[in-house]
Structure 1
Amino acid sequence: MIHIHSTQLIGEVTNMSNQGVLSAAASGLSDFIIQQGADVDRVFGSSGINPERLLSPTLSLHLPNYCKVLEYAAEQSGCDNFGLYYGQQFQPKSLGLIGYIALCSPDLESALKNMANYFHLHQKDTMTRMLDLGECWRIDYQIQHGAILTRRQDAEFTIGIFMNVIREMLGQHYSPREIHFEHTRPEFWQEHSKLFNAPVFFEQPYNSIVLLKKDLQCSMPMHDSMLFKVMLDTLHLLNVATPLQSLSDQVRSHIQIELADGEPHLEKIASDLGFTSCVLTRRLKAEGLNYSALVEAVRCELADYYIKQKNIPISEMAFLLGYSEVSAFSRAFKRWFGVNPRQFRH
């Protein structure tokens, strides 16, 4: 049986909808940063996070700052797989309500469905779902916040959390069918295959775990029907409409998604957001913005990230940013940074 105090539930109800992600997501982060050899004060300072907010798991952090702290920790520690390793040792209970609703569920399949259904309450501006693929389930996770374009460390950390719930039941060496990540293949990608004990694919539409349905039919040993009902009722109360991102952030998020298929077209993104291109243009203008400037800003920010990933060839970088020719990317890069991509790397 799982023991959890009602005051903890009340605390999460009070604070869960505040900023972006519960501080529980950074449980043990300070110690882990130190273990990896980085200066924890410098990492938090660079990320704009007050370390005191991490002392209570029911307080919350702005999601862009939270993603920055993981990226800066990787950069300043020299541990390129920081999020991957942090996720491997993260315990499901440390997630608070979202972790406990999984552990209290009747079986593993419902545990994962409950985590997917309610994860947005733990972390706003996030898409989490389970898709039926016939003999398999696919768990998809993706941040959908337009201000967060570099989020590899968060993706590897979060997929690790879901795998920890699965392996709590099926053993530490359980092999999922496949693991997918939306970011490009990192330098030390062999570690991903080793730790997930499965084929790992990069540059995919979502961060995903593919699992055989038959593997998920086992009962959860800590299932508690009374506590499970209390938690469902609590989460139901929390599952109310939350403020939408600004229009510019929504557009930035859609631009990043469309870049994978080439030039991001205004008409397509306007349609996806429920507008005509004229209406979207007018609404962006009211915010002092224009669509072309947003595309340029997204490409510039992603270029700054990709150029530092030495394993990504410059030719591939051009196509990741939606350019049909490397020469067009090189001209844009020089406009942004004053030198061409090869000069920047050297």
Structure 2
Amino acid sequence: MPDPELRHGAIYVQVLARDLLEQGYSEAQIFDGTGFRPDILGQKKPFALFDDIAGFYEHAAKLTGNDSLGFERGIKREMRRTGLICYVGLSAPTVRDFIQNIARYRRVFSDAVEIQTARLDQDGVLSWHFAVPSRIVRRQYVEFGASGLLSAMRRAANRNFSPSLVTFRHSRKTNLHGFERYFSCPVEFGAAENAFHFRREDLNLPLMTADNELYQVLVESCESVIGHKSRNVAPIIVDVERAIAERLATGEASQDSVARALGMSPRTLARRLSDENTTFFKTLEELRVSLAMSYLKDSDLVLAEIAFLLGYAGQSSFNDAFKRWTGRTPGQFRAEDAPNSHSSIP
């Protein structure tokens, strides 16, 4: 079975494409090799597969030579373009309500994003991920969403408040000071989760955009919409990848241990993966390839550290595997493919 078609609002692909045209890029440069065609420019409420949206942002970052494109565009994002999901957030009484509403009604705008608020009241933690396989690179779009969300909340509260900590699962080694300057707090990359850590007093900030009557109407509208939408969540392959990732560095990422973590027998896990036209070994290898390329491109980790994080007994084993995957050694890949630091933020 193919991966579920997780769809996501594509309005910000449309906005980005128009901006690139205004900057002088041709339609061929903007759209060739992506999952989009120029006809998206005229669509009223575009939706698309999330992997195509994430890929478009990665493509635009390479096209413009700006490795912080998503982050920078998020800062300037006009959230009202998302429609209903935005207004049910902005009309809420407080920052906390804004967050809880975005989390609850996210299906109005996206089938792909998963938002966790279970730790919000006690620890101030808002975390999120996109329920798609790790092979889908989404770094630019994750950063776009993070800076855009904080920007929207700051404007709604009319306060330039900041989290106490921001973490991202992906690695990054360029423009780190730009992120810390904007978020006004420590920012960690290569962490266990994408998350904001908020202070309680900031969660209680009232929103200047609050409107109780409008709020009640919008909540009813959102409840109606999500009541008719598919609740299709992450496929088994995503769950397996997460379980593997948690065990790689300890050398415990075996089919038996992952099956136990997912509450099933190894035989059942093998059958479930077979239904997805894959195997445990293939899933493990694809995750290692994805992580290895991310570590090599976006971090300063030495090869021995990367080998350890990927669960290899030594650097030579990692070197052999990487050459089998790509035809190049890790050192050659890093030298040839590691991005240069390009950003409009000084």
Could you tell me the TM-score, scaled by structure 1's length?
0.84
- Give secondary structure in 2 for the equivalent of 1:209: strand
Alignment of 1:109-148 (within 5 A): 109-132=96-119, 136-146=123-133, 148=135
Consecutive aligned runs of 4 or more in structure 1 exceeding 6 Å deviation = none
What's the offset of the Cα at 1:155? 1.3
Aligned residue identity for 2:306:
M
Q: Does 1:209 align with 2:200?
A: no
Residue 67 (1) aligns with residue 54 (2): yes
Q: CA deviation at 1:258?
A: 4.4
Q: Indicate which of 214, 222, 236 corresponds to 2:223.
A: 236
Q: Indicate how the Cα distance of structure 1 residues 249 and 47 shifts in structure 2: closer, same or farther if over 3 A, else same.
A: farther
Show CA shifts across 1:56-114 (max 9, x none). 45331101111111112112211111111011100221221111111111222211111
What one-letter code is carried by the residue in structure 1 that aligns with 2:290?
A: E
Contact 1:303 1:321 in 2 (8 A): yes
Structure 2 CA distance, aligned partners of 1:189 and 1:167? 21
Q: Please tell me whether the aligned partners of residues 176 and 198 of structure 1 are also in contact (alpha carbons under 8 angstroms).
A: yes
Q: Is the 8 A contact 1:24 1:96 kept in 2?
A: no
Q: Which residue of 2 aligns with 1:28?
A: 15
Quick one: which of 213, 216, 223 aligns to 2:210?
223
Q: Do the aligned partners of 1:103 and 1:111 also contact (CA within 8 Å) in 2?
A: yes
Shift of 1:251: 3.1
Letter in 1 for 2:52: N
Where 1:294 maps in the other structure, the secondary structure is helix
Does residue 283 (structure 1) correspond to residue 277 (structure 2)? The answer is: no
Q: CA deviation at 1:178?
A: 1.2
Does structure 2 retain, via aligned residues, the 8 Å contact 1:179–1:210? Answer: yes
User: Shift in Å at residue 140 of structure 1?
Assistant: 0.7
Instruction: Give the residue type in structure 2 aligned to 1:89.
Output: K
**Distance in structure 2 (CA, Å) of the matches to 1:39 and 1:148:** 28
Contact 2:134 2:287 in 1 (8 A): no
Residue identity in the other structure for 2:100: K
Query: Is 1:345 paired with 2:334?
Result: yes
Question: Is 1:313 matched with 2:302?
Answer: yes
2:63 to 76, 98, 102: 76
Structure 2 unaligned spans of 5+: 336-346
**Letter of the structure 1 residue corresponding to residue 310 of structure 2:** L
Is 1:270 the counterpart of 2:259 in the alignment?
Answer: yes
Tell me the secondary structure at the aligned position of residue 308 of structure 1.
helix
Match of 1:12 in 2: none
Deviations 1:298-342 (A, max 9, x none): 222333444333744333332343334222211101111223112
Q: Secondary structure at the match of 2:170?
A: coil
Q: Which residue of 2 aligns with 1:161?
A: 148
**In structure 2, do the counterparts of structure 1 residues 57 and 200 end up closer, same or farther at CA, with 3 Å as the change threshold?**
farther
Give the secondary structure class of the aligned counterpart of 1:140.
Answer: strand
Extract unaligned runs of 5+ from structure 1.
1-17
Higher relative contact order (CA 8 A, sep 6+): 2
Q: TM-score, normalised by structure 2?
A: 0.84
Match of 2:40 among 39, 42, 53: 53
Aligned to 2:285, which of 286, 296, 299? 296
Distance 2:61 2:247 in 1: 27
Change beyond 3 A, Cα 1:169–1:249: closer
Structure 1 SS opposite 2:207: coil
Report percent identity of matched pairs.
26
* Cα distance in 1, alignment partners of residues 222 and 157 from structure 2: 26
Q: For the residues of structure 1 that align with 2:145 and 2:246, how far apart are their CA atoms?
A: 20
Q: Which residue of 1 aligns with 2:170?
A: 183
Aligned to 2:256, the other structure's residue is in SS state helix
167-176 or 326-335, which deviates more: 167-176
Name the amino acid aligned to 2:65.
Answer: G
Of 75-84 and 268-277, deviating more is 268-277
Give the number of aligned pairs: 329
In the alignment, the residues of structure 1 paired with residue 6 and residue 200 of structure 2 have an alpha-carbon distance, to the nearest angstrom, of 35
